[in-house]
């Protein structure tokens, strides 16, 4: 009933995060029935695969390798901020509150999904820190405050300990703008425990 190539397209689209089988079907039909939608998407995908590369140093996506962040002379080359994915890097860049380098792990360890330490860019991070040319003084863990994220932090700190680098993590507490009565117990506990002298 559904033409075979279209069925294939629906299947491919449904693998994208955020699209289920049903929305993949709607997306495929949208592409097919909207003037110029399919060729436009084809053109831009071709351009992306021809121009965008993954930085072999930090794992960021960029038009150059090493990427525009790794080669930026104005950034502080002594600090590396470790993130799970490139969109976490984008979020930190948007905030404008960090001027060091990055390292994209490519995920966090998760036994259920079968993601072990060797599936992440951990070895590359240790090598960057060990490399005498880089002069890294601090590594910031900016991973999610989930069980998997924290497990990965412990693993990373074990691997980095021999290098003698300073290891820090994001502060935990009440998010800016949040109201106390909506906070979960875990956040309340760390926010109370980590309380600071006011003013």
Return the DSSP state at 73: T
**Whole-angstrom distance, CA of residue 99 vs CA of residue 142:** 14
Q: Of 79, 81, 83, 86, which lies in the binding site for its own copies, with binding defined by CB under 8 A?
A: 86
* Residues in 149-188 at the binding interface with its own copies, rule: CB under 8 A: none
Query: Which residues are CB-contacts of 146 (< 8 A; sequence separation ≥ 6)?
Result: 108
**Site mask, its own copies, residues 14-33, x = CB under 8 A?**
-xxxxx---x-xxxxxxxxx
Based on the shown chain and the rule CB under 8 A, indicate whether residue 106 belongs to the binding site for its own copies.
Answer: yes
List the one residue from 35, 73, 94, 95 that touches its own copies (CB under 8 A). 94
Q: Does 196 bind its own copies (CB under 8 A)?
A: no
Integer Cα distance of 43 and 26 in angstroms? 21
Q: How far apart are CA 103 and CA 126, in angstroms?
A: 11
Residues 48-67 that bind its own copies (CB under 8 A): 48-49, 51-52, 54, 61-63
Q: How many helices (H) and strands (E) does the chain have?
A: 7, 6
Nearer to its own copies, 3 or 132 (CB): 3
- The gap from C-alpha 1 to its chain's centroid, in whole angstroms, comes to 40
- Residue numbers at the binding site for its own copies (CB under 8 A): 1-6, 8-9, 12-13, 15-19, 23, 25-33, 37-42, 44-49, 51-52, 54, 61-63, 85-87, 90, 93-94, 106
């Amino acid at each position: 009933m559904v033409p075979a190539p279209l069925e294939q397209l629906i299947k491919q689209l449904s693998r994208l995060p955020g699209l289920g089988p049903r929305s993949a079907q709607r997306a495929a039909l949208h592409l097919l029935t909207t003037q110029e939608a399919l060729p436009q998407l084809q053109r831009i995908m071709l351009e992306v695969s021809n121009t965008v590369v993954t930085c072999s140093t930090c794992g960021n996506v960029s038009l150059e390798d090493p990427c525009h962040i790794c080669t930026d002379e104005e950034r502080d080359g002594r600090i590396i901020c470790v993130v799970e994915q490139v969109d976490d890097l984008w979020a930190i860049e948007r905030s404008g509150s960090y001027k060091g380098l990055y390292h994209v792990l490519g995920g966090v360890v998760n036994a259920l999904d079968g993601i072990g330490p060797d599936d992440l860019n951990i070895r590359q991070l240790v090598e960057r820190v060990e490399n005498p040319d880089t002069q890294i003084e601090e590594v910031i863990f900016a991973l999610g405050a989930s069980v998997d994220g924290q497990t990965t932090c412990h693993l990373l700190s074990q691997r980095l300990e021999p290098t003698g680098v300073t290891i820090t993590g994001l502060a935990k507490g009440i998010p800016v703008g949040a109201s106390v009565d909506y906070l979960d117990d875990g956040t309340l506990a760390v926010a109370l425990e980590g309380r600071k002298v006011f003013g």
